[in-house]
Structure 1
Amino acid sequence: MSEHSTALHQLSARELGAGYAARGLSPVQVASSVISRVEEREPVLNAMYAFDPREVMRQARESEARWASGRPLSALDGVPVTVKENIARKGIPMPSGTALSNPAIPAQNAPITDRILEAGAVIVGSTTMPDWGMLSSGVSSLHGISRSAWNPEWTTGGSSAGAGAAAAAGYGPLHVGTDIGGSIRLPGGWQALATLKPSAGLIPLDVPYIGRAAGPMGRSVADISLFMSILGQPDLRDYTARPYPAMDWAAELPGVRGLKVALHLDANAGDPVEPEIASAVSAVAEVFAAAGARVQVLAPFIDQGMLDRLDGFWRTRSLADYRELPASEQAKVLDYIAAWCTDGAKFDGAQTIRNFGAIDQMQKATIAATSAYDLVISPVSPMPAFRAEQPMPNPDPHATMSHIGFTVPYNMSGQPAATVNCGFTSDGKPIGVQLSGRVGADDQVLAAASWYESQRPASAVPNWLALD
């Protein structure tokens, strides 16, 4: 690969758009560079599920013709993107990470896919996920193991596993993941990415579910903010969508003086925060405080019982799907997932209702605790990336989820939560900080994340060129 083509896959979405407009860059050149990048890294990273270079080039040629005629569809026309495999693309099977026979083949695109295509962006392909999206890793009965672009011995995070690896490795600048307990932010935090789990119903879904969201992942806040101008549009196919006021995705914070900021380091559920992570996240709060923000410590607001009950409900929900399968198909589901969901059988109907009630309890507690603040600063996860072969931080499928105490409350409350890299552990693993805000304040959360991104110390800035 030439030095010039190598540089193209490193360019941001904004740089690509400006280059196309100035006729200094071609969507075909860029697509060719990204294809080469995917082909170079995929034997190790295993981040892509559906990747057809001929289709990528077809889209790129159409984009190039639009730019040549002066009629691009948007600022993202010709910009390479990926979507997670559980986001419907017409005619492309959706196995959701499982090796089950005869996966569903969607008859139409998801709203997200339509918005991307309407903007003229080039879909490079679909990205991998673990079985049913219920793992925080890239371990899948269908795909095998997806690996971190930083070090293939480390997990990608999950369940937007391939999306995280693709974003970090330079498979184009923009990627879409989904998140019901941290599945965008965990790979974001463990791979040094900027991400957003948006407010409930802001980005329309074709399969909405309580706590579920889709959102952008990339290397910079500026890029994912630009992507939100495309993704955050209403669509009647999502019956849970909310009529949010227009948001200013180009908003910038001139400063943070007077901003009410909470520092949250004790989730009171799951594992305690490891010292290196606590130190890095505390340093983020110090950056805000030094610039005039009013920073206070936020006490715990959920408890282990809430997390256990939510985990119990998810097990029962997945058990219902598992039991619909014939024995021959059940045998194809990842052993860890089979053991995890089978535990759902121990809950009777009354306990399942109590477990379901944890969603409301968590929502109420989270909104009540955070409503007085413009921004809440917390870890993404209490631990750094673990081994790629390990399905979860705790390898015991019968143990509760010990790593989502900071992320899952904002799924249940519907509040926006972004991630930015804020440091590295002593052995080089990325450390993500989570920045959350009030429901509907997504543009303000991203503006605050962008401000921190511009103010963070050099030691916290990812060196993406080092991944080449």
Structure 2
Amino acid sequence: MQAQSPSALHELGAAQLVQGFRERTFSPVEVMQAVLGHVERWEQHLNALYLLRPDVALEEARRSEARWMKGAPLGVLDGVPVTIKDNIATRGDPTPLGTRAVDLVSAAADAPPSARVREAGGVMFAKTTMPDYGMLSSGLSSFHKLARNPWDFTRTPGGSSSGAGAAAAAGYGPLHIGTDIGGSLRLPAGWCGIFTLKPSLGRVPIDPPYMGRAAGPMTRTVADAAWFMQVLSRPDARDSMNLPPQDIDWLSFDQGADKLKGLRIGLLMEAGCGLPVEPEVHAAIEKAARLFEQAGATVTPMKPFMTQAMLEGMDHFWRMRSYIDMKALPAQKKAAVLPYIQQWGDSAAGMDGEAVFRAFSQFHATRVAAVAACSQFDYVISPVSPMPAFPAELPSPTNDPLHGLEHIGFTVPFNMSEQPAASINCGYTSGGLPIGLQIAGQRFDDLGVLQVSRAFELIREGQRAWPQPPSHAVRDVD
């Protein structure tokens, strides 16, 4: 096969890779070698990966190369490098959930997202890191090394899809899968300057399913997310919340900037709870809103619909869930959990039945409020987070387990309302940190959110070059 410069192969999108494989411009092995070489230069600084196994990855790439040589690829991901978040089971691998408290037992089967990737021929070359039990918006973990943001190593990549956000921004190949129950896709996407789609609940099957929990693509571009959704959205009976199969033309995501003409866009600048929006974030979102208007959309300011009671109710219910989970652990296992999460969960010990019921009721109250507030708009735009990426060593922006969720007021309502919501970069702070714009749509309008995101991708100001590893010393990976 005619070789393309190895330095460029890890930068290519999924569709470009598949086209190159089909035309024999380069091979899956050459691509995997390029990705592994790039990972080697980055990973000591980022700690984005778990279970990185170059030999296994290269063997899978050789099998893919053989299929392409025969003209018989398994699917639209054959030979494309993919990473999978720690908490998404992959057959034969342990699933530590980011914590030393979990016994390392090999998974008996692939979870739905990893099963779909394997069926389509994707090369799952590594898992990505996450915080303990996915209960932090940072890369702090008792099991994994501290994950860092490629834009600034002193900053967090976010969480709980920490490693996935860092890996996408650093160019560890085009496709990464994360999960989200309150912002765990969108927060790292916003803080790492990448794109993600938190799908409508049930659009991407997941096991085990849970209220508000979604898996989704984390990529550098809308195009790669749309390409990935062709695979991830295929049904799986193990997800009791799986939506009925629907023939969605994911590759019609690019409708150009004309998609925005005549749209009714709600502009949500205050979450109604939690921390206030910082000035640089506020300015970037306002600037994005003006771009929507210039493209022909009608942008209308919204009043906040979340309340502090809603946020605190969900927080307290999740504390009780974690308290019960940790209470079931042997003492030495519980002691292995991050102290911050121990303190957070143990704070629920005194809650009685009425308090738990009232806390749980806030999930439904949030859902009703979100649906009502969005009903008069085609899409809603807002900050992803009230602040840019915070210091990497902190578990949360407040560093206070009793006020640990004060930054998720913009993201969590769309988990509870089951609406699709994306994060796309819309600017940078004076210090060069990315700022995420959230684009939420009506329930089930996942394709529409991708189309609006693509339109914004076309009209936003030029983006800064992706960060590069500090050392450019190259060592070939055989």
For Structure 1 versus Structure 2, the TM-score category normalised by the shorter chain is over 0.9
* Counterpart pick for 2:382 among 378, 381, 384: 378
- Counterparts of 1:20-419 in structure 2, within 5 Å, are 20-100=21-101, 102-243=103-244, 245-251=246-252, 252-254=254-256, 255=258, 256-419=260-423
TM-superposition CA deviations, 1:385-422 (whole Å, max 9, x none): 01111111110112241100000000000000011100
TM-superposition CA deviations, 1:338-361 (whole Å, max 9, x none): 011111113111110111111100
Q: Using the alignment, how far apart are the partners of 2:263 and 2:23 within structure 1?
A: 39
Q: Counterpart amino acid of 1:149?
A: P
Residues 147, 155 of structure 1: 8 Å contact kept: yes
Q: Using the alignment, how far apart are the partners of 1:77 and 1:360 within structure 2?
A: 41
The answer for unaligned runs of 5 or more in structure 2 is 473-478
Following superposition, the deviation at residue 234 of structure 1 comes to 1.0
Q: Using the alignment, how far apart are the partners of 2:9 and 2:394 within structure 1?
A: 34
Residues 150, 467 of structure 2: 8 Å contact kept: no
* Counterpart pick for 1:443 among 447, 450, 458: 447
Q: Using the alignment, how far apart are the partners of 2:376 and 2:102 within structure 1?
A: 50
Q: Using the alignment, how far apart are the partners of 1:438 and 1:22 within structure 2?
A: 39
Q: Counterpart amino acid of 2:201?
A: A
Following superposition, the deviation at residue 466 of structure 1 comes to 4.6
Q: Using the alignment, how far apart are the partners of 2:18 and 2:403 within structure 1?
A: 47
How many residue pairs align between the two structures? 465
- SS class of match (2:348): helix
Out of 259-268 and 8-17, give the one that drifted further. 8-17
Q: Using the alignment, how far apart are the partners of 2:275 and 2:146 within structure 1?
A: 25
TM-superposition CA deviations, 1:177-209 (whole Å, max 9, x none): 000000000000000001010000010011100
Q: Counterpart amino acid of 1:347?
A: M
Q: Using the alignment, how far apart are the partners of 1:245 and 1:227 within structure 2?
A: 16
Residues 244, 440 of structure 1: 8 Å contact kept: no
TM-superposition CA deviations, 1:191-240 (whole Å, max 9, x none): 00010100000100111000100000010000011000100111101111
Q: Using the alignment, how far apart are the partners of 1:101 and 1:404 within structure 2?
A: 27
Following superposition, the deviation at residue 368 of structure 1 comes to 0.7
Relative distance call for 1:104 and 1:364 in structure 2 (3 A) is farther
Following superposition, the deviation at residue 244 of structure 1 comes to 5.4
The answer for unaligned runs of 5 or more in structure 1 is none
Q: Using the alignment, how far apart are the partners of 2:107 and 2:363 within structure 1?
A: 30
TM-superposition CA deviations, 1:251-283 (whole Å, max 9, x none): 222411111111100111111111111111111
Q: Using the alignment, how far apart are the partners of 2:427 and 2:271 within structure 1?
A: 20
- SS class of match (1:141): coil
Residues 421, 462 of structure 1: 8 Å contact kept: no
Relative distance call for 1:101 and 1:444 in structure 2 (3 A) is closer
TM-score (norm 2): 0.95
Following superposition, the deviation at residue 3 of structure 1 comes to 9.7
Following superposition, the deviation at residue 443 of structure 1 comes to 0.5
Relative distance call for 1:244 and 1:265 in structure 2 (3 A) is farther
Residues 192, 462 of structure 1: 8 Å contact kept: no
Following superposition, the deviation at residue 463 of structure 1 comes to 1.1
Residues 4, 26 of structure 2: 8 Å contact kept: no
Relative distance call for 1:465 and 1:398 in structure 2 (3 A) is closer
Out of 281-290 and 96-105, give the one that drifted further. 96-105
- SS class of match (1:117): helix
Percent of matched pairs sharing the same residue:
49
Q: Counterpart amino acid of 1:80?
A: P
Following superposition, the deviation at residue 101 of structure 1 comes to 5.1
Q: Using the alignment, how far apart are the partners of 2:102 and 2:306 within structure 1?
A: 40
- SS class of match (1:126): strand
Out of 391-400 and 2-11, give the one that drifted further. 2-11
Residues 81, 124 of structure 1: 8 Å contact kept: yes
Q: Using the alignment, how far apart are the partners of 2:270 and 2:365 within structure 1?
A: 18
Following superposition, the deviation at residue 105 of structure 1 comes to 2.5
- SS class of match (1:140): coil
Q: Using the alignment, how far apart are the partners of 2:23 and 2:76 within structure 1?
A: 12
TM-score (norm 1): 0.97
Relative distance call for 1:277 and 1:465 in structure 2 (3 A) is closer
Out of 158-167 and 394-403, give the one that drifted further. 394-403
Following superposition, the deviation at residue 75 of structure 1 comes to 2.6
Following superposition, the deviation at residue 111 of structure 1 comes to 1.0
Q: Using the alignment, how far apart are the partners of 2:136 and 2:242 within structure 1?
A: 26
Q: Counterpart amino acid of 2:362?
A: A
Q: Report what 2:475 is aligned to.
A: none
Residues 308, 400 of structure 1: 8 Å contact kept: no
Q: Using the alignment, how far apart are the partners of 1:148 and 1:116 within structure 2?
A: 26
Relative distance call for 1:370 and 1:406 in structure 2 (3 A) is same
Q: Counterpart amino acid of 1:401?
A: L
Residues 151, 467 of structure 2: 8 Å contact kept: no
Q: Using the alignment, how far apart are the partners of 1:266 and 1:112 within structure 2?
A: 34
